[in-house]
Structure 1
Amino acid sequence: MTEVDLNATEYPDYSYDYLQITTPCDKGEVRNFTKLFLPIAYSIICVLGLVGNIFVVMTFALYKKAKSMTDVYLFNMAIADILFVLTLPFWAVNYAADKWIFGDFICKIARGIYAINFNCGMLLLAFISMDRYIAIVQATKSFKFRARTLAYSRLICLVVWVSSILISSSTFIFSESYSHSINKTREICEHRSSTEMKGLTLKLLLVCMQLLFGFFIPLLFMVFCYAFIVKTLMQAQNSKRNKAIRVIVLIVAIFLVCQVPHNIVLLVTATTMGKLNKSCESEKQIAMAKYITEVLAFLHCCLNPVLYAFIGVKFRSYFVNMMKNLWCLRYKKYKTQSSRISSDTYHSRQTSENMSDNVTSFTM
């Protein structure tokens, strides 16, 4: 990388660079903004994300045994979101101190976990959409083959985790903590390659992979699956139909609001990467937009527990009972009763009732 490139990437970002020009661009305004804004924003996201997702993990682990593919996906997505938000304090300190202070090993680990769990969470959203499509649109088939598909759910999650690790492997390999070439006293945590062209190619590849696996694939699954789900619900005579449709619209709308702005910035970055005629002002605007929209995208991990777990009637009842157990310190009694009641209810449910049960997972 050139000195100008390093000055442009003074903040960690596993996917892209912003400047590829011959004249240095003073981004003092951007640095002053991020030094105040990002530590506060990342701290809030970390706290909210931990609280919501830990409650989901506790509910599944201590009280509610997974009975469907969606339950398995939700459990894994909560774990991915927890690991993801746990990396944010490192970046909050990095921005506040205006330098990386944790060394090379933590740099690789923090950036690698950051990338793996972000990609894993987004891919799991795609599979949750597919499972809801099978459960509602293909209700008869899903009931008939539920035992077989449940057996594959853990395998699917394993494939998602392995795929996310492979997709993010370059982050582990090329991330380094090193001194800024302009200011030798300032350590940064960034991708580092032997040549400028190799570094530019790597960054462009990472942008494309993040756009593909972190946005377009989940969006494609959600639009396709939820469109058919809404169509099926419109034809169903169910008292919870309208609530279910509103929840689906809310899920898609929040996904678009959180993810579209940041991915537009990624697209702009990918199309302008390597160009030499970019103005300093436009680069500062893109940099500012990148940080603001990135925070908006990260907020989605705080909303996932509400949109996909607590919004379900059955999950809420399990969660309330679990909290009562914790309050009364009578874990075993309530756990045994809940497990037996849940198992009996599940196995006694008829095919005609399966549609209604699946719809309740979308109702308030």
Structure 2
Amino acid sequence: MQTITPYDYPNLTLYFDEDLQPCSMESVGLFKKTYAPVLFSLMFVWGLLGNVLVIVTFNHYKRAKSMTDVYLLNMAVADILLVLTLPFWAVYHHKQEWIFQDFMCKLVRALYAINFSCSMLLLACVSIDRYVAIVQVTKSFKFRTTAMAYKNMICLFVWLFSALLSSFTYYFSESYEINSVLVCEPRYYGASTALQLKLAALAVQVAVGYFIPFLVMLFCYTCIIKTLLHAQNSQRHKAIRVIVVVVAVFLFCQVPYNVLLLKKAIEIGNPDHRCHEHVKSAYALFLTETLAFGHCCLNPSIYAFIGVKFRNYFWKIIQDLWCVSKQYMTGTRSSRMSSDMYVSKRTSEGFPSDGGSSFTM
């Protein structure tokens, strides 16, 4: 039988204190009901628009794309998939009950797992690409040329591997009834079997989906920073600035929530009986969950505020759209021809190749 903790289901009042006094979670439920719909709605709008803009900017102008560009594009796609699940979580927290089908429960939880694993693996790939380009300069041309030739296969492998890692989440997540309330949570059957499955799933997901990519990033960026500290070229410093910020923000947003999820899973079968600890855990889990979900809308902001090239590409899109709108407003053939010539010229010019640096730099 699965052990139920009150911070999993804040709309329930369960007896967990040693003296069997009721542990009320109404304050947590009210907090979620008030703030979750607003926060997740804002994230949905900003994240969808921002990541679509990244994809449009990437595809519209850059011709000589680097591997870093390809990886960041795939990250934007992964973020959009996560963004599309936010309305479901907003309704879930507002209603304090899962009102959708069991399949949607599995899907929305699996999509978060895919986003996390895929982003970690792609950031590891970015770190390797930057490491070769900056540290192993003599080997960079051959390595990156080969990588570009197999870029579709590399990205497909990352997606398939992330889907495989998330299969644990998909399999164990269920929509089921607790005290006449439908919840969407992982569910394990059988005491000994549940423990073995849980530990096996956690070991694989943590080791392959987080720990190994993190070690790869740590090694690559340590070497990169050492190399850049000895370099007097400011352009090389700029070439890594955005990526370092993207990695730092990802870890800052995602690690706290996943640590709490790990802690929560480990405590299944051995729950803490102190009510105030459950209340604090419930608040912490919701706040870190919000931070983790909010990461999907932060990368476009990082590109816009730090990445000079991204801003330049963005303003070119605005200029081209303005020229096209003027073309339709004037309705004259001459304006149409000059606008078309202008758009064609601006689009074909693009920007000079930077030797493989990302378009967000």
TM-score scaled by structure 2? Answer: 0.80
Whether 1:172 aligns to 2:167 is no
Aligned-partner SS, 1:190:
strand
Q: CA–CA distance in 2 between the matches of 1:46 and 1:176?
A: 24
Whether 1:5 aligns to 2:4 is yes
Deviations 1:32-55 (A, max 9, x none): 222223222222222221121111
- Counterpart in 2 of 1:16? none
- Counterpart in 1 of 2:322? 327
Aligned-partner SS, 1:168:
helix
Q: CA–CA distance in 1 between the matches of 2:237 and 2:129?
A: 20
Q: State the Cα RMSD in Å.
A: 3.4
Q: CA–CA distance in 1 between the matches of 2:224 and 2:359?
A: 13
Cα deviation, residue 240, structure 1: 3.8
Q: Given that residues 242 and 360 in structure 2 are in contact (C-alpha distance below 8 angstroms), is that contact kept between their aligned partners in structure 1? A: yes
Aligned-partner SS, 2:183:
strand
Cα deviation, residue 164, structure 1: 0.9
For the structure 1 residues 238 and 290, does the alpha-carbon distance in structure 2 shift closer, same or farther, using more than 3 Å as the test? same
Q: Given that residues 130 and 240 in structure 2 are in contact (C-alpha distance below 8 angstroms), is that contact kept between their aligned partners in structure 1? A: no
Q: Given that residues 7 and 282 in structure 2 are in contact (C-alpha distance below 8 angstroms), is that contact kept between their aligned partners in structure 1? A: no
Aligned-partner SS, 2:298:
helix
- Counterpart in 2 of 1:238? 233
Q: Given that residues 104 and 177 in structure 1 are in contact (C-alpha distance below 8 angstroms), is that contact kept between their aligned partners in structure 2? A: yes
Q: Given that residues 108 and 171 in structure 1 are in contact (C-alpha distance below 8 angstroms), is that contact kept between their aligned partners in structure 2? A: yes
Q: CA–CA distance in 1 between the matches of 2:273 and 2:200?
A: 21
For the structure 1 residues 210 and 130, does the alpha-carbon distance in structure 2 shift closer, same or farther, using more than 3 Å as the test? same
Aligned-partner SS, 2:219:
helix
Whether 1:301 aligns to 2:300 is no
Deviations 1:136-185 (A, max 9, x none): 112232124432221122211111100111111133333332222x2x2x
Cα deviation, residue 84, structure 1: 0.6
Deviations 1:98-122 (A, max 9, x none): 1111122322222222322232122
- Residue in structure 1 matching 2:307, options 278, 303, 312: 312
Q: CA–CA distance in 1 between the matches of 2:148 and 2:304?
A: 18
Aligned-partner SS, 1:187:
strand
Amino acid at match of 1:118: F
- Residue in structure 2 matching 1:281, options 262, 276, 291: 276
Q: CA–CA distance in 2 between the matches of 1:21 and 1:211?
A: 32
- Counterpart in 1 of 2:336? none
Aligned-partner SS, 1:299:
helix
Amino acid at match of 1:99: E
For the structure 1 residues 101 and 164, does the alpha-carbon distance in structure 2 shift closer, same or farther, using more than 3 Å as the test? same
- Counterpart in 1 of 2:330? none
Q: CA–CA distance in 2 between the matches of 1:253 and 1:35?
A: 30
Q: CA–CA distance in 2 between the matches of 1:270 and 1:293?
A: 16
Q: Given that residues 69 and 150 in structure 1 are in contact (C-alpha distance below 8 angstroms), is that contact kept between their aligned partners in structure 2? A: yes
Amino acid at match of 2:297: C
Aligned-partner SS, 1:179:
strand
Whether 1:191 aligns to 2:186 is yes
Deviations 1:61-119 (A, max 9, x none): 33324621111101111000001111011011011011111122322222222322232
Deviations 1:283-303 (A, max 9, x none): 222222111112222232222
TM-score scaled by structure 1? Answer: 0.80
Amino acid at match of 1:79: V
- Counterpart in 1 of 2:74? 76
Amino acid at match of 1:318: Y
Show structure 1 runs of 5+ residues with no match.
Answer: 12-18, 347-352
Instruction: Summarize the alignment of residues 148-167 of structure 1 with structure 2, pairs less than 5 Å apart.
Output: 148-167=146-165
Amino acid at match of 1:136: I
Mean CA deviation greater in 250-259 or 240-249: 240-249
- Counterpart in 1 of 2:90? 92
- Counterpart in 2 of 1:43? 41
Show structure 2 runs of 5+ residues with no match.
Answer: 328-338
Amino acid at match of 1:50: L
Give the total of aligned pairs: 342
Amino acid at match of 1:115: A
- Counterpart in 2 of 1:115? 113
Q: Given that residues 120 and 161 in structure 1 are in contact (C-alpha distance below 8 angstroms), is that contact kept between their aligned partners in structure 2? A: yes
Q: CA–CA distance in 1 between the matches of 2:5 and 2:277?
A: 18
- Counterpart in 1 of 2:212? 217
- Counterpart in 2 of 1:28? 26
For the structure 1 residues 324 and 218, does the alpha-carbon distance in structure 2 shift closer, same or farther, using more than 3 Å as the test? farther
Cα deviation, residue 342, structure 1: 5.2
* Aligned-pair identity (%): 49
Q: Given that residues 321 and 334 in structure 1 are in contact (C-alpha distance below 8 angstroms), is that contact kept between their aligned partners in structure 2? A: no
Q: CA–CA distance in 2 between the matches of 1:107 and 1:271?
A: 22
- Counterpart in 2 of 1:15? none
Deviations 1:284-328 (A, max 9, x none): 222221111122222322222344577433333223222322332
Q: Given that residues 43 and 92 in structure 1 are in contact (C-alpha distance below 8 angstroms), is that contact kept between their aligned partners in structure 2? A: yes
Q: Given that residues 64 and 338 in structure 1 are in contact (C-alpha distance below 8 angstroms), is that contact kept between their aligned partners in structure 2? A: no
Q: Given that residues 21 and 276 in structure 1 are in contact (C-alpha distance below 8 angstroms), is that contact kept between their aligned partners in structure 2? A: no
Amino acid at match of 1:288: Y
